[in-house]
């Protein structure tokens, strides 16, 4: 089956700890994205990557870091510098940043709770 | 100018009725307008999308109406079913160097049996 997998589905961490969320896709998509979703808000872009070893900050990148060492993988690290990390995190991919069709396909999400 | 404003925040419709969700944008450079459907605890799924060269696109019970001059677009769900109960997000993007989607804040739809 082609698609995007995110793991784990639920993640619990203590305040002050860094945590890494996994995102893998087998759609052969060039572009990958990380979004954060909070209740009553739309999706907000954290980071995005067009190609391997390249990524750009989105609208709310502070307190987050990413890497793109493989085309299939785009892990997100939530650092202790992120002031309000508890949220639902969504990974997405698309054929390319400037490639039509522009559809972004989403993974099932990881719910992170930091106490 | 990057915002996409979505309304209503929540919507209750009777089974068989028409659900209508509206979005408005300001950036005239936007040229791709998708709608996503999200069930609780799941990732959003692309429902239907439109480009500004057409005023309407229909897929099954779902229709996007697009008004370029008013900078508005809407989702119509005909013959709404309880299984349509979900959160719906509109979005917009500008083709070119990047394909960053700007999302609306979502509409929680409840279809009552």
Between residues A1 and A58, which one has the greater pLDDT? Answer: A58
CB contact under 8 A, B99 and A58: no
Residue from A102, A107, A112 to probe the interface with B (highest B Cβ count within 10 Å): A102
Is the CB of A45 inside 8 Å of chain B's CB atoms? Answer: yes
Q: Do B97 and A45 touch (CB under 8 A)?
A: no
Decide if pLDDT at A100 tops 80.
no
Return the pLDDT at A96: 72
Flag if B105 and A42 touch (Cβ within 8 Å).
Answer: yes
Mean pLDDT of B13-33: 95
Residues B51-108 pLDDT 10s = 888 999 999 999 999 999 999 999 999 999 999 999 999 999 887 656 688 999 999 9
Print the SS3 string covering B27-84: CCCCCEEEEEEECCCCCCEEEEEECCCCCEEEECCEEEEEECCCCEEEEEECCCCHHH
Contacts B49 to A, Cβ<8 Å: 101, 103
Give the C-alpha distances (Å, rounded to integers) separating B75 from A94, B36, B44, B78.
23, 10, 16, 10
């Amino acid at each position: 089956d082609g698609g995007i997998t995110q793991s784990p589905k639920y993640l619990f961490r203590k305040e002050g700890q860094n945590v890494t969320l996994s995102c893998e896709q087998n759609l052969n998509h060039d572009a990958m994205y990380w979004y954060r979703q909070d209740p009553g808000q739309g999706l907000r872009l954290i980071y995005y990557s067009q190609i391997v070893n390249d990524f750009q900050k989105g609208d709310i990148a502070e307190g987050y870091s990413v890497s793109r060492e493989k085309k299939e993988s785009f892990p997100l690290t939530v650092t202790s510098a992120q002031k309000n990390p508890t949220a639902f995190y969504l990974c997405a991919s698309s054929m390319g940043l400037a490639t039509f069709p522009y559809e972004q396909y989403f993974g099932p999400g990881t719910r992170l709770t930091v106490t | 100018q990057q915002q996409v404003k979505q309304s209503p925040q929540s919507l209750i419709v009777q089974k068989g009725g028409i659900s209508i969700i509206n979005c408005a944008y300001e950036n005239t450079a936007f040229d791709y307008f998708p709608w996503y459907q999200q069930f609780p605890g799941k990732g959003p799924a692309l429902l239907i999308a439109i480009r500004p060269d057409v005023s309407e696109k229909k897929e099954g019970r779902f229709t996007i109406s697009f008004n370029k001059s008013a900078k508005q677009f809407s989702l119509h769900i005909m013959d709404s079913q309880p299984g349509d109960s979900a959160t719906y997000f509109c979005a917009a993007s500008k083709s070119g160097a990047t394909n960053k989607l700007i999302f609306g804040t979502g509409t929680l739809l409840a279809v009552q049996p």
